[in-house]
Structure 1
Amino acid sequence: MPSAPRTIWNELAGLDFQVTTVDAGGVPTRSLQAGEGEPLIFLHGTSGHLEAFMRNVQAHAKQYAVHAIDMLGHGFTGKPNFGYEIPRYRDHLLAYLDAQGIERAHIAGESLGGWVGARAAIDVPDRIASLQLLCAGGTVANPEVMERIRTSTRKAVETDDIELTRARMRLLMHDSADATEELVAVRHEIYHRPDFVANIDNLLSLQDMETRIRNILRPEDMAQITVPTLIVWGRNNPFGEIPEASAMHDNISGSELVLFDDCGHWPQHEKAAEYNDLSLGFLAKHAIAR
């Protein structure tokens, strides 16, 4: 008998959780919260949303207070009208921590979320207990990759054709089956909300070369990261090659690097079981000091 399809509801079945809106410095911020313990914040990538971590919440909520959020200008979070550069994302993250009364948190950031987490670890290390960089962006400015992100996202947002959203989601995954129809439907709904469409230039501002260079994390920046750091990378990542991950590892003293085979840009989703075990082992080694 074939197994039941993996759905968001199945991933959360039996778990006490809430999806709520938090006022983070005046920005209404969608947040899924579950579990108790040390706080762990999941941060998604460019044009993403908290559903990127649905295969991870249950496992982590057994030991941690999990917060998966829609970042500034993304998903169902507020969309103020300015270009979204990394300091803005950092400040929104810190405002969220303040609103939730969180002094220090573990950060697990995928793609853009890793970029934001790294910036926070550099600027306010006292607020970050540990850092996970999951196919993190921000250390290179590759015009071809930037154009791929900009073009595929804009087409999917500006044209009401779900096949374009499906193609955008499949671009992230090594196995297209991981871009489930449920995820495609959620993203298509988000992409075609009027506020999201109106905000697309702000959201894609980091794909502009001048803006990206202004925000890029250079080796000397990464060398300032002193919090425990785990780097996770897919060997088939379409948005960054393995040397990027290796350079992060070289530049962050004491960091760990793990490469997943047959994996694209969403290691936490594509290799959920392996990632969850890896993450929980890493977090256990770096408990917040009392």
Structure 2
Amino acid sequence: MSIWTELSPIELSLSYVDAGGVPTRSLRAGSGEPVVFLHGTSGHLEAFTRNLPAHAAHYECHAIDMLGHGYTGKPDYPFEIPRYVEHLLAYFDATGIERAHIVGESLGGWVGARAAIDHPDRVASLQLLCAGGTVANPEVMNRIRTSTRQAVESDDVELTRKRLRLLMADPADATEELVEVRHAIYHAPEFAANLDNLLCLQNMETRQRNILRPGDLARISQPTLIVWGRQNPFGEVPEAAAMHEAIPGSQLELFEQCGHWPQHEKADLYNALSLSFLAKSSAAGFAGRS
């Protein structure tokens, strides 16, 4: 099944939004309370195509290419977490979102958590899907940095395929269509020119400056769902358990036979879990859109 076949049941728009001067690729569908989907390092909004139809039946969904990623603009400065949060809030403002549920995978979870901590009035609930940002593991950081750089700096599509398969417990989930999408993004001249800025969080000094510590996580007051794959190559289960312990009232769900993309690898299981969580999290006084 192709990306567009998966999306065919819903009416959607794919456009560019000026978010604080950064042209931002945005896929929007549905109506209701806003839910914003944020992908991981070197990723793009297609990470959520298996989730948007189910969610758009109940919510106004926004899947975006984050700052410096995908086809979104790539200003020339290192992309540290405050920059991502600034861009996210600029997107909120540009699209009239006062407050949203955030679904963040990997880097997207790191950004979503920081937004929830620093701007609690803008975040209604938080989903952390194999979220990064709570540890600085040199081996994992090197794996991300090396595999991404190799795939970007070589025209060999097999390196892009290997980079995507690294995320999945079952290599078949790294579909050839996803490989083609990512290979095209990786080999756009502006992406390659921007690579050092995009990978800056894999530098130890930069990462330590941005890391989420237990005291930060303890400040998250929004309903929080943590979803983790037991075969996650970028973080083992104790990392998820530590997040769960630090975030008051959080919910932890572990997926079997699942790697770093639980929303994609176990879409049916994740969609049901997410929709149940969102229904419980929708506060009576939700601010919604301006």
Question: Could you tell me the TM-score, scaled by structure 1's length?
Answer: 0.98
- 1:138 pairs with one of 97, 111, 133: 133
1-side partners of 2:145 and 2:223: how far apart?
32
Structure 1 residue ranges (4+ consecutive) displaced by more than 3 angstroms after TM superposition: none
- 1:188 pairs with one of 180, 183, 189: 183
- 1:287 pairs with one of 282, 285, 289: 282
2-side partners of 1:289 and 1:130: how far apart?
13
1-side partners of 2:283 and 2:89: how far apart?
18
1-side partners of 2:173 and 2:256: how far apart?
15
Superposed displacement of residue 14, structure 1: 2.5
Question: What value does the CA root-mean-square deviation take over the aligned residues?
Answer: 0.5
Matched with 1:21 is 16
Deviation digits for residues 199-246 of structure 1 (CA, Å, limit 9, x no counterpart): 000000000000000000000000000000000000000000000000
Q: Report whether the alignment pairs 1:90 with 2:81.
A: no
Amino acid at match of 2:20: G
Matched with 2:116 is 121
- 2:172 pairs with one of 159, 177, 180: 177
Secondary structure class of the residue paired with 2:93: helix
Matched with 1:269 is 264
Superposed displacement of residue 288, structure 1: 3.7
- Percentage of pairs with the same residue: 74
Superposed displacement of residue 257, structure 1: 0.1
1-side partners of 2:6 and 2:22: how far apart?
28
Amino acid at match of 2:142: E
Deviation digits for residues 151-190 of structure 1 (CA, Å, limit 9, x no counterpart): 0000000101100000000000000000000000000000
Superposed displacement of residue 289, structure 1: 3.0
Question: Could you tell me the TM-score, scaled by structure 2's length?
Answer: 0.98
- 2:64 pairs with one of 61, 65, 69: 69
Deviation digits for residues 60-82 of structure 1 (CA, Å, limit 9, x no counterpart): 00000000000000000000000
Secondary structure class of the residue paired with 1:72: coil
Give unmatched runs, 5+ long, in structure 2. Answer: 286-290
Superposed displacement of residue 57, structure 1: 0.3
1-side partners of 2:221 and 2:163: how far apart?
35
Superposed displacement of residue 99, structure 1: 0.4
2-side partners of 1:218 and 1:254: how far apart?
17
Secondary structure class of the residue paired with 1:79: coil
Amino acid at match of 1:227: Q
Superposed displacement of residue 22, structure 1: 0.3
Give unmatched runs, 5+ long, in structure 1. Answer: 1-5
1-side partners of 2:283 and 2:192: how far apart?
40
Matched with 1:8 is 3
Write the mapping of 1:159-238 to structure 2, written as runs, cut at 5 A.
159-238=154-233
Superposed displacement of residue 13, structure 1: 1.2
1-side partners of 2:258 and 2:145: how far apart?
22
2-side partners of 1:128 and 1:30: how far apart?
21
Secondary structure class of the residue paired with 1:83: coil
2-side partners of 1:13 and 1:224: how far apart?
40
Q: Report whether the alignment pairs 1:149 with 2:156.
A: no
Secondary structure class of the residue paired with 1:277: helix
Matched with 1:3 is none
2-side partners of 1:208 and 1:289: how far apart?
42
